[in-house]
Amino acid sequence: MRYLHGTIDYGILYPISTGHEDKLIGFCDSDWSGDTLERKSTMGYVFKLFDAPISWSSKKQSVVTLSTCEAEYISA
């Protein structure tokens, strides 16, 4: 709560477009069994427009995967 109170005036800066960044770009990734206790993977994504983030998420997968390929497949 202290973080939220201290950063309440912060925002996302959208730079002036030069015509080169005016596209939607998305990135996603996951690790394999990053949670050593439950052996579950973490997945995340971010979408950027005008080189600024507009949507993002990170969460633990609900299933245990047996390979990196399977963890990436489930995150997609």
What is the total count of domains within the chain?
1
What is the pLDDT at residue 26?
94
Domain interval for residue 46: 2-75
* Cα distances (Å, whole numbers) of residue 36 to 6, 20, 31, 33, 42: 33, 42, 12, 6, 11
What is the pLDDT at residue 62?
85
- Residue where the block lists tokens 């005008």: 50
| Whole-number Å distance between alpha carbons of 51 and 18 | 11
What is the pLDDT at residue 65?
83
What is the pLDDT at residue 21?
60
pLDDT in tens, the chain (76 residues): 788 888 888 887 766 766 666 789 999 888 888 778 888 888 999 999 877 889 999 998 888 888 888 888 877 7
